[in-house]
Chains A and B, each alone.
Chain A
Amino acid sequence: MSSLLKSTRSATSFDPDFKDFVAELRSLVKSPDGGKTASLAQILILTMSIGFQKGFKGPQSPRSNDAARLEYLDEAAVAQMRLVALVDQKSADVLEDDEAVIDIAEQYSNGGLVILRSEKESNPSFLSWLEKTLYHQTKSFYQDHLAED
């Protein structure tokens, strides 16, 4: 299976400090497609969206290639990553460089991990909080942009 993103790396990477937390997160959240645990690609998109929504980027991950393999990032994931990169760079030119797109996605993902871990440590109802956050975002998106269509 070939990758939709052109890159010299074989996979994305997370901040190594969050290795354990990523594993914990995978076991906590349900895979949207029915799998027992969420895939690394799903965690990447989830954390990236959290970081992006809060406008918080983490450090650039060293290229450990220990996160989602590029070929597992489907068209939907790539479209989300490209949108994040475009907004971050305030220019569509960034789309020419998939390496840059991946870097930006990883930075937001690392930012999202910081936010989520902090919430997990302070909030005993972490999962409920996460679900509530995602639900309210979905609801506003639907009501503001999708319902009238």
Chain B
Amino acid sequence: MVVELDVSLGQDGARASIKRSQLFEVLKDKRPRRVGQEAVVVREITPGGLADVHPNPEAWLQKFFPQRLSNFFLFDGELMKNFFDTRVKGAIEDAVREIAGVDYFEDVRHKLEAVKTQIDKSIAKKSGGDAEKLRQKLHDARLLALKISEKIVKDKATLSGLEEELKEKEGIWKKFEDLAADANRSIEIQTEIVKKQLEIDEEEELFRRLILAAGPKAMISGGLEALRGAVESAQNAGTLPPPFNPQALQHLVERGTCICGADLSEGEGGHREISGLISGFEKASTVGKRLDDTARQWEILKAQVREQYRRITDTNKRFISLKDEKAKLAKELEALAERLIGHQNQSAADLGKRVKELHRQINDLRLEVAADEKSLNQELEPSAISAQNAFDEASKGQHELDGLRREASLAGELAQAAGAIHRVAIQLVRERLEESVSTKFKVVKSGSFVTRVTEDFEVITENADGTEAELSEGEKMMKAYIFSIALREVVGLSFPLIVDTPFGRLDEYYREQLAEMLAQLVSEDSAKSNRQVIFLMHDGEYTPYTKKHFDKVGPYESYLAWEVDEEKSNIGVGIDPDWFSVTAWKDWKEGKIK
């Protein structure tokens, strides 16, 4: 398969035809499998037609498209959501310098410094042997100071990278520590849940026993009114036994005395009275006695039911409370399990090792930088200044050298100015990037927040109170797209934004949200801009639900389909007709999806 594109690169009107061939083999089931690719072929397009094939196409492409910028111009959608999570600050700064051409001023500075050195050499030659020696000394001192300065800058950059990595790793490590605590808590909760369940089972069993004891009595209790009536009737009829225990009374009579001191011996009044009661009980009917027993027993049963119901109420309350506690524990356990899923001990061990190593490296490097800075400030720079003074003194008084000295001084000042311009240019690009990103992001995400590009080229979105805003996956991806477009605008690069699988692994909701935002972004201020966005999407990604958003900006749709029967690829304009066999696309065709 061959893909050939005519592209315009940069603003100087350079155009080229770029061709790349992919080699496929046809499998038994007639599906294609890529087996390799041929080298890219570049032919520049000149007013006279196509130029000859470029001898070194990769180098030619690099001229327009440096490798270190590829991360900002050719995207893999699946990685977009992590765009600002990875350590891209240095890469962004590099990209800005590269694209904005601000490194030119850095080159100028280096060249001017070389000129100054050359002039100093001439001065030394003309000044004689001592001046030459002093010039050499001055050169060595400057060189050493420069080397140490460069080493400090390099070490500081390394240190910054290591500190960044440590911050990131410690963040993850903190999560691992939390996970270890989570794991312990999970075990505790599981034990607590089992305990709670046992308590619930106990309460449930107690409830059942109590209800089985009280329930039947309560069900019969409707008959108590009849019992009361029968007792009253028997009482009126005198068939109820007297309210004494006849056996106990008989015992008193037999003993002839009472604990109260009354004389119960035969013939006494007390004896006669009690004997009368016993005789009354004997006369009471069997029915009366049984009725009396039943009524007395039911008073006991009522007291039992009262107590049992109170216990039932208590056990019910405990049961509900235990169930609630258990549900809370189960919920907590579920949340912990969610957090623990997918984490392995080995990755924790590796991470711990790396964190320890980073601490050691950072410590060593900090000590080294501090020592170098001390040496630079206290020894090397004073030594260079003193060498310069000595050299100036040695070459002084020679009239013809004054002109050269003025030139050397001018070259030095110009070199410093070039360095300052270089810094200002970077700052300017940063500010314009910030303005562009912030404005564009507001178009797609409403709310009171700002997106800033920091001194370190970190792209952060903050709420009104200065805290970092929480962004959804779709919004994070959108911010990355916006940054890329802003970069093009700020540095005036017209290379299109090309993204493979632009929605990555976003689910349907965020996919639609992102599609809407992208369409909005492309159409924003469209009269003035000439934004070109190329998305490469597969059939699972480009659905009628995403298309409806892109339709607002009039996309050019083209498809590439593998025709199994014909064993070849077909490229066509519009939507692949085969897609219309899918329900969603059928609905779209029938105008059901708007």
Contacts and interface: CB of A to CB of B under 8 A. Distances in A.
A30 B202 CA distance: 12
A71 B219 CA distance: 24
B212 A137 contact: no
User: Which of B220, B234, B297 lies at the interface centre, i.e. has the most chain A CB atoms within 10 A of its CB?
Assistant: B220
Nearest to B288: A92
Interface stretch (A14-22, A81-89, A117-125): A81-89
A129 interface: no
A74 to B, nearest CB: 10
Interface string B203-216: 00101111111111
Contacts of A86: 223, 226-227, 230, 294
Contacts of A80: 216-217, 220, 301
A29 B215 CA distance: 12
B211 A135 contact: yes
Nearest to B309: A142
Contacts of B207: 131
A95 B291 contact: yes
Given A30-B208, A49-B216, A53-B219, A138 B297 contact: no
B304 to A, nearest CB: 8
Contact of A142 (B210, B227, B301, B306): B306
Contact of B212 (A32, A79, A149): A32
A96 B284 CA distance: 12
Given A29-B212, A30-B209, A86-B223, A138 B287 contact: no
Contacts of B301: 76, 79-80
B510 interface: no
Given A49-B215, A141-B218, A92 B306 contact: no
A135 B300 CA distance: 20
B178 interface: no
Interface string B279-302: 000000111001101100110111
A87 B223 contact: yes
Name A's interface SS.
helix
Given A45-B216, A49-B219, A83 B306 contact: no
Nearest to B207: A131
Contact of A146 (B216, B226, B306, B312): B306
A82 B296 CA distance: 12
Interface string A14-57: 00000000000000011111100010001001101110110000
B59 to A, nearest CB: 80
A138 B209 contact: no
B219 A30 contact: no
B389 interface: no
Contacts of A42: 212
A146 B303 CA distance: 8
Contacts of A9: none
B540 to A, nearest CB: 45
A101 B305 CA distance: 23
B305 A141 contact: yes
A79 B227 CA distance: 11
A52 B220 contact: yes
Contact of A134 (B214, B286, B294): B214
A139 B316 CA distance: 12
B308 interface: yes
Interface residues of A, number: 44
A75 B301 CA distance: 10
Contact of B215 (A82, A135, A149): A135
B234 A92 contact: yes
A135 B308 CA distance: 11
B312 A135 contact: yes
A134 B207 CA distance: 11
A78 interface: yes
A92 B287 contact: yes
Given A42-B212, A48-B216, A49-B220, A93 B309 contact: no
A146 B212 contact: no
B208 to A, nearest CB: 4
B224 interface: yes
Nearest to A32: B213
B220 A134 contact: no
Contacts of A142: 218, 305-306, 309
B530 interface: no
Nearest to B227: A83
Interface string B380-401: 0000000000000000000000
Nearest to B222: A53
A133 interface: yes
Contacts of B227: 83, 86-87
A64 interface: no
Nearest to B306: A146
B212 A83 contact: no
B221 interface: yes
A93 B290 CA distance: 10
User: Which of A29, A48, A80, A149 lies at the interface centre, i.e. has the most chain B CB atoms within 10 A of its CB?
Assistant: A80
A49 B211 CA distance: 13
A75 B299 CA distance: 12
B297 to A, nearest CB: 3
B220 A84 contact: yes
B361 interface: no
B222 A79 contact: no
B211 A76 contact: no
Contacts of B220: 48-49, 52-53, 80, 83-84
Contacts of A49: 215-217, 219-220
B95 to A, nearest CB: 69
Interface string B305-344: 1101100100000000000000000000000000000000
Enumerate the 5 nearest inter-chain pairs by beta-carbon distance, A residue then B residue, closest first: A134-B215, A32-B213, A79-B297, A49-B216, A87-B223
22 contacts: A33-B213, A42-B212, A46-B216, A49-B217, A49-B220, A52-B219, A78-B294, A79-B293, A82-B290, A84-B220, A86-B226, A87-B226, A90-B226, A95-B294, A134-B215, A135-B312, A138-B309, A141-B217, A141-B305, A142-B306, A145-B221, A149-B306
Given A49-B220, A131-B211, A146-B305, 18 more contacts: A34-B209, A38-B212, A50-B219, A75-B293, A80-B216, A82-B290, A83-B226, A83-B227, A86-B230, A87-B223, A87-B226, A131-B208, A137-B215, A137-B219, A138-B215, A138-B312, A141-B309, A142-B306
